[in-house]
Amino acid sequence: MDTPHPSSPTPRRTVLAVAGAAVASWALGAGTARAASSRPEPWGTSAGHGPLPDGLGRLTPRQRAGQRIIYSYPGLTPPDSLLAAIRAGEAAGVIFFGENISGTDQIAAAVAQLVEANESSPVKAPLLLMTDQEGGQVRRLPGAPELSEKQVGQASDPEAAARDAGTGAGQNLAGVGMNVNLSPVLDVFREPGDFSDAHQRSYGTDPDSVGTLGGAFITAQQETGVAATAKHFPGLGAAATSENTDLGPVTLGQSLSELREVDEAPYRAALDAHVKLVMLSWALYPALDPSYPAGLSSKIIQRELRGRLGFTGVTVTDALEAKALSSSYPTQRRAVLAAGAGMDLLLCSARDIAQGQAATDGLVDALADKSLPGSPFDAAVRRVAALRSSLAGVGSTG
């Protein structure tokens, strides 16, 4: 959960402290019930069956693990260690923060360095180059979209404003070579001043309206070629002002019917708009899973998002380094838990290359000892590969 900050990069996400057994035994993408076949499959995604595409089956274990890792780095210049990981085919992409950006020319040049390194990778697909460009208080790049989601929801023609915001976000990111936006937020806030409302990160209190506006944003942005990410499933709109997962554990106690009829409802519109990615929340939802936060819950990822709603696209974690996670869970363990629960991409956003390397180490070891079974692991790799291939030619990534 991002919160705005006036002079430094937005604080990254915080995960609910968790204890107990691993969820890695859940088979990612295997045996999951699908929704009605009439629901359209998101653009550029794969159901996860068949051989690995374009030579991915010949990757080393470390390259195979790297297809699920999103790196971040400190400062304005990509470090040599990141460029080396990309050249080696051990990275799926990079997320950018305020500290990485001093202006559009500068970040475009940094992106070009990453793209050049990727040309030497054995994985012949664009990197996933992403940021949070929601609008209003949460923007990494200067410029569009300038309106916050709350302002969009209050506009005289909200749907037109949402389309304009999506178009502006996509053009802005593509203009510097990025191809994934971690937006829109589909949280349905409850009371004025709630966490999402206080930071103007919600379109409103009506789930149908939130879905309509989120769908309009997604459609318009993806028409520019930039992939959209619906977040934070199954929803953080019920979080009160002080319930910030950046700062500690959050338990949201809605009933199952309220979760499905209010919080999850906008995601149907997002899926109808062919959203390419969904980010999971780090809050705990006892009505869905009393033991694990959403991003570590196979029940929420596999049964609710993929099974009940029928999402077949790419899932992405919130920040893997979240400070509320038990200190007994090192990066390697967090990576294995998230991957085992059903997260396709692991967001290593601590601005430390060693974090991404450690997450890769964890996946490699778990594949070797079979605590992460190979078949569901490769189903996730296929989905990520399909997404990457669908973004060829966006900005300077083609």
Q: Is residue 151 part of a domain?
A: yes
Q: Is residue 21 part of a domain?
A: no
Percent of the chain with pLDDT over 70: 84
Lowest pLDDT segment from 17-26, 275-284, 295-304, 331-340: 17-26
Q: What per-residue confidence (pLDDT) applies to 55? A: 67
Q: Is residue 26 part of a domain?
A: no
β-pairing verdict for 138-139 and 133-135: antiparallel
Q: Which CATH number fits the domain that encloses residue 184?
A: 3.20.20.300
Interval 202-259: pLDDT, tens: 999 999 999 999 999 999 999 999 999 999 999 999 998 888 767 778 899 999 999 9
Q: Is residue 237 part of a domain?
A: yes
Nearest to 35 by CA among 364, 307, 361: 307
Tell me the whole-structure pTM to 2 decimals. 0.88
Interval 138-190: pLDDT, tens: 999 999 999 999 999 999 999 999 999 999 999 999 999 999 999 999 999 99
Domain count, the chain: 1
Q: What per-residue confidence (pLDDT) applies to 322? A: 78
Interval 128-145: pLDDT, tens: 999 999 999 999 999 999
pLDDT > 80? residue 40: no
Is residue 381 within 8 A of residue 54, CB to CB? The reply is: no
Q: Is residue 122 part of a domain?
A: yes
Nearest to 335 by CA among 53, 63, 125, 22: 22
Q: What per-residue confidence (pLDDT) applies to 323? A: 67
Is residue 136 within 8 A of residue 147, CB to CB? The reply is: yes
What single-letter amino acid sits at 161?
A: A
Which domain does 162 fall in, by range? Answer: 56-390
Contacts of 362 (CB under 8 A, 6+ apart): 331, 332, 333, 334, 335, 336
pLDDT > 60? residue 297: yes
Q: Over the chain, what is the mean pLDDT?
A: 87
